[in-house]
Amino acid sequence: MTALTGQQKSPWILAGLLLGHVMLMAYFARHPDSEQSLLSTWIMTGFTPIARSVDWGVSKITGGIGGYADMRGAQERNVELQARLEELTQERDRAVERAADYEQLRAQLALPTRPQYAELAANVISRDTSLWFRRLIIDRGSSDGIKRNMPVATATGIVGRVISVGPVHAVVQVITDKHAGVGAMLQTSRAKGEVRGLDDGRCELQNISSSEPIEVGETVITSGLDRIYPKGLVVGKVERLEVDPNASWHKIIIKPSAPVDRVEQVFVLLVDHKDLTVEETVSK
């Protein structure tokens, strides 16, 4: 029997590899919540420092150019901002006073105090590497204390949650991903529902009864019922309301408050979802 030549062996190599890949795919498809694959960890551990350096360089260059452009009209803008600062200072003083009253009332009613969570700043080093997934990659990982399901936010609102963690990076599923869900409620009426991602950078607040009065522009906050996002974080504002008199539920389109599609810096709330007690998540 003659030995197979390299050319003749190729179909057998191909068949073996394809079979191996079918088994690999089947394993990872059956265990979608398993830890990050070893290959992904190796590659991303190597790539993250490079991506971080590139991001730093690009932000320096764009920041420099942007800073120069911003110099034009800076004086007029400065006067406007001074006036706005005074308004906001007064507003803040009133808010501080109200918060003190609120805390005093909570203490008198013996309501549990709401915990403050530590935050960790992170840079977005990559996003949506392919057409099929709406994900961000940040330059913080398990070595910084990040764990799966930790909420990710900006100063203006939530961005998403950590779905996979490597030693020096983490993958964040954004709230506009169709796969994502957030327990949420309307800030004024306190009606609770669920936020789901839409294709166009918007979200939909589902399961709100059509009898609930809702106004465009109303703020939507997290309800805490999903045991991932602590209660009271801003999700977005009601942008559009589609009323169908025959439907039992409102169709509410929300514009996320955080710039999910172009966010560059985020902070991770160091919340372990196991630590979110029922009292903390459902108490008003």
Partner 1 sequence: MRILKIALTIVFALLLQLLLSNYLKFFRYIDLPLLVTVYFSLQRSPRLAILVGLLSGNGGDAVSGGILGVSGFTKILIGYLIAVVSIKFPLENPLARLAVVAVASAVNTVLFVGLYQMLEQDQVLNQTLPYVSNWAGFGKTVGWKALADTATSMFLFVALDRVFSEQAETRRMAIRRRFYE
Q: Which residues would be at the binding site for partner 1 (CB under 8 A)?
A: 6-7, 9-10, 13-14, 17-18, 21-22, 24-26, 28-29, 32, 37, 39-40, 42-44, 47, 50-51, 54-55, 58, 124-135, 137, 164, 171, 177-179, 197, 199
* Minimum separation from the CB atom of position 145 to partner 1 (A): 21
Contact 177, 152 (CB under 8 A): no
Q: How far apart are the first and last CA of the chain?
A: 80
**3-state class (DSSP) for residue 257:** coil
- What is the residue whose two structure tokens read 């327990």? 183
Q: Check if the beta carbon of residue 192 is closer than 8 Å to that of residue 232.
A: no
Taking the complex as a whole, the smallest distance from the CB of residue 47 to partner 1 amounts, in Å, to: 6
Taking the CA atoms of the chain, what radius of gyration do you get in angstroms?
24
With beta carbons less than 8 A apart as the criterion, state whether 121 and 146 touch.
no
Shortest spacing between CB 28 and partner 1, in angstroms: 5
∠ CA(245), CA(248), CA(252), 5° rounding?
80
Judged by CB, which is closer to partner 1: 115, or 259? 259
Shorter beta-carbon distance to partner 1: residue 102 or 133: 133
Q: How far is the CB of 192 from partner 1 (least distance, A)?
A: 22
Between 172 and 268, CB nearer to partner 1: 172
Query: For partner 1, which is the closer residue by CB, 56 or 102?
Result: 56
Closer by beta carbon to partner 1, 9 or else 114: 9
> What phi, psi does 161 have (nearest 5°)?
-135, 155
